[in-house]
Amino acid sequence: MSLRDQFVPDLASVFINTDEFATVREFRINDGKGGFKVFTAKVVWDKEMAKRHPLVAIHGMYLGDVICFIEHKYLPRPPVAGELIYSPANQPWEVIDVTDEESCYQIALSATRSQPAHYGAN
């Protein structure tokens, strides 16, 4: 077993302890087959991290309203920039950026850039 294979269980059980840091939220996401998947997941939903990110604090770039950390196992596929994710299931959030961080995704979300005319079109 390689070091990388040994790292993933430690990351999930020690560093990303969802029982300690996460809250349960309802989500709705396009399943890639023309439908939607509605589910609840333990996530870290951090509004302050989006404001404290170095790109925002130093350069004044807009990085979204919320940074969401969600484990891979909850999503039917990786999210892509520009698509809408709903949380709760009727509140649209536009995906600004996605980073794959071993066993979870770091997703920058924006509520203000969502366009009502495109709801459900993703």
- Least-confidence region, from 30-44, 59-73, 87-101: 59-73
Give pLDDT, residue 26. Answer: 92
CA dist., res. 27 & res. 114, Å (int): 16
Q: Once rounded to an integer, what is the mean pLDDT over residues 47-58?
A: 69
Give pLDDT, residue 59. Answer: 66
Is the pLDDT reported for residue 66 higher than 60? yes
Measured between alpha carbons, how far is residue 8 from residues 15, 29, 79, 104 in Å? 10, 25, 21, 10
Is the pLDDT reported for residue 109 higher than 80? yes
User: Whole-model pTM?
Assistant: 0.71
CA dist., res. 45 & res. 31, Å (int): 22
Is the pLDDT reported for residue 41 higher than 50? yes
Give pLDDT, residue 35. Answer: 87
Pairing of strands 36-46, 23-30: antiparallel
CATH of the domain spanning 3-118: 2.40.10
pLDDT band, very low/low/confident/very high, at 114 (cuts 50, 70, 90): very low
Q: Once rounded to an integer, what is the mean pLDDT over residues 1-28?
A: 70
